[in-house]
Structure 1
Amino acid sequence: LSYTNPWKKENSFIFNMPTLERKLLGGEDKYRILCKLQEGAHGTVYLAEDIHSQQRVAIKQISTSSKASRQAFLKEVEIATAVSPHDCIITTMDTTCSVGIGSIVMPLIPHDLVDWLPSKRHTRRSLCKFFFQICQAIGHLHSLRIAHLDIKLENILVDSLGNALLCDFGSAHYFDDSLEHPVGTVLYWSPEKAQDTNFDKAAADVWSLGILFYVLLTKSYPCVGTTEDEVINTLKNGKLSFHALESSKCSAAAKNLIHSMLQIQPSQRATIADVLRDPFFAQL
């Protein structure tokens, strides 16, 4: 099995595309769009250039044509700004807004884990380092009473020094926010998230971290199913398969950490503070 989400369209970052017709972002004569890099549920990311400094950046453009989409954009900007700066989180450099389009400007980071992992040779130690860095990022969010709610390989970037950076706050919410509909990616949903929109957001993030670590170490998912509906039913029934983990050469400490994060009952699940204090990380 590969690292890729089985339902994810192949849309890796591409830098060899011909430059599109030059246009200015938001009419503010500040950034020039060069080409599309990636399209997702919460917006489209473009390669762009600062007109004055010629610095290349990534710009996420989000539709703000409706009241709901404008509110979603403002929430994402508020949260992305609140959590930055942090060593393990993508920096928000600038934000702009024009008629019907909101934009978030970020450093240009060429790879996410989906396209970076298969192209490199890794040790378990390096994968565990990535995971610990993302745990640090989530610990920072939770200290601000913010949940990411869409932790996955695609939302983790790798910089030129080989460090992991958490990105994309389009699904993020404050702990006290109410949710009208489920957010995030089904393969990383917790069982309670699959059943109700009223769930412990911090505990759901820890579950997603458990899935992430499982995937990093085994290249497979513990949620059995070939469609989203099948995976949701697996989650609702609490019938995960840990065969790939148990048959792997992972240490007992790594297995115990994963099991602590993938407890079916949220009240029995490790918190992010528990995860960061886990003895497993002492060996890194």
Structure 2
Amino acid sequence: MTIYAEELGRGRFGVVYRCYSAAAADSDSFACKSIYKHSISSDSTDRRCLDTEPKILHLLSGCANILRLHDVYEDDDYLHLVTDLCDGGDLFDRVSSGARFSEPDAAVILKQLMTAIAFCHRLGVAHRDIKPDNVLFDSQGRLKLADFGSAEFFGVSEMNGVVGTPYYVAPEVLRGSNYNEKVDVWSAGVILYIMLAGVPPFFGDGPAETFEAVLRANLRFPPKIFRSVSAEAKDLLRKMICRDVSRRLSAEQILRHPWITSGGQTSSMAD
């Protein structure tokens, strides 16, 4: 039996509450997303995502850096998803001010994010909407990748369909072609760029201009901003935000990159 304690936020289709189990011996809190089913038509993409997300979260429950689904309850009106409580905020809160991260701090976050993404990819799941809003932190500061509503299984065939968020979406998604799981690597690379620069690599006045900038994929490192950023960090950015998918690193390769393995502790300066 799950008892609601307080409302934490509202989305398009439901409300997120802090909750706890009345039957549990301890007083650990959880989050419960309560989704009003009648607001979603049975033949819509949103309905398919609603059906798929719990299955994917169950599959991914073995990774400490992925939001864990503890239980699912359903009644005539609502679907309730009980997950980890992440009361340490999200990455969007940390980057929205435009403040720049030190390389060691950025490396700690990226390593946890890529650990989550690599775990997904090993199990044949692409997240497809990697962005700061979906990168949460628990009370101990541990990263939890969340919101698998756009996730898709891959392996037998390539994926298609335009999903994602303007600043972070990979160019091959916008081109309307088939694509693979490396769209998540591109999005994570954009997050790394924002952490180090305080601004996104591709942007415009509105979504249409931003999409055009993403399609051009003209990656730049303005000297005024990147003067103090190491060559190793820039090398990793080039290999993540790479228009040629065949040359873009995989999630596993990123975890072995020198900038990650050194924890961002580099002595070289921007070239």
Q: TM-score range by the shorter chain?
A: 0.7 to 0.9
Q: TM-score, normalised by structure 2?
A: 0.83
Q: TM-score, normalised by structure 1?
A: 0.80
SS at match of 1:186: coil
Match of 1:12 in 2: none
| Shift in CA distance, 97/179, structure 1 to aligned 2, threshold 3 Å | farther
- Residues 1-284 of structure 1 correspond to what in structure 2 (within 5 A)? 30-40=1-11, 43-53=14-24, 55-65=28-38, 66-68=41-43, 69-110=46-87, 111-116=89-94, 123-175=102-154, 176=156, 181-196=161-176, 198-200=178-180, 202-243=181-222, 247-284=226-263
Q: What is the alpha-carbon distance in structure 1 between the residues aligned to residue 252 and residue 203 of structure 2?
A: 29
Q: How many residue pairs were aligned?
A: 253
SS at match of 2:246: helix
Match of 1:15 in 2: none
| Shift in CA distance, 191/261, structure 1 to aligned 2, threshold 3 Å | same
**Contact residue 223 and residue 241 of structure 1 kept, 8 A:** no
- What CA deviation, in whole Å up to 9, does each residue of 1:87-137 have, x standing for no partner? 21111111111223212111211111222566x996431221111011011
**Contact residue 161 and residue 173 of structure 2 kept, 8 A:** no
Q: Which amino acid aligns with 2:210?
A: V
Q: Which amino acid aligns with 2:9?
A: Q
Q: What is the alpha-carbon distance in structure 1 between the residues aligned to residue 168 and residue 193 of structure 2?
A: 11
Aligned-pair distance for 1:246? Answer: 6.5
| Shift in CA distance, 72/33, structure 1 to aligned 2, threshold 3 Å | same
SS at match of 1:188: coil
Aligned-pair distance for 1:241? Answer: 4.0
**Contact residue 64 and residue 73 of structure 1 kept, 8 A:** no
**Contact residue 167 and residue 203 of structure 2 kept, 8 A:** no
| Shift in CA distance, 58/75, structure 1 to aligned 2, threshold 3 Å | same
Q: What is the alpha-carbon distance in structure 1 between the residues aligned to residue 65 and residue 259 of structure 2?
A: 20
| Runs of 4+ off more than 6 Å | 177-180
| Shift in CA distance, 121/243, structure 1 to aligned 2, threshold 3 Å | closer
Q: Which amino acid aligns with 2:42?
A: K
Identify unmatched segments of 5+ residues in structure 1: 1-29
- Percent identical among aligned pairs is 29
Name whichever of 143-152 and 243-252 sits farther off: 243-252
Q: What is the alpha-carbon distance in structure 1 between the residues aligned to residue 171 and residue 30 of structure 2?
A: 38
- What CA deviation, in whole Å up to 9, does each residue of 1:228-275 have, x standing for no partner? 111111122333443279634111111000100111121221111221
SS at match of 1:139: helix
Name whichever of 190-199 and 215-224 sits farther off: 190-199
**Contact residue 202 and residue 217 of structure 2 kept, 8 A:** no
Q: Which amino acid aligns with 1:48?
A: C
| Shift in CA distance, 91/183, structure 1 to aligned 2, threshold 3 Å | same
Q: What is the alpha-carbon distance in structure 2 between the residues aligned to residue 278 and residue 113 of structure 1?
A: 23
Identify unmatched segments of 5+ residues in structure 2: 264-271
**Contact residue 182 and residue 197 of structure 1 kept, 8 A:** no
CA RMSD in angstroms comes to 2.5
- What CA deviation, in whole Å up to 9, does each residue of 1:157-202 have, x standing for no partner? 11222221111111111115776742221110011111216222x1
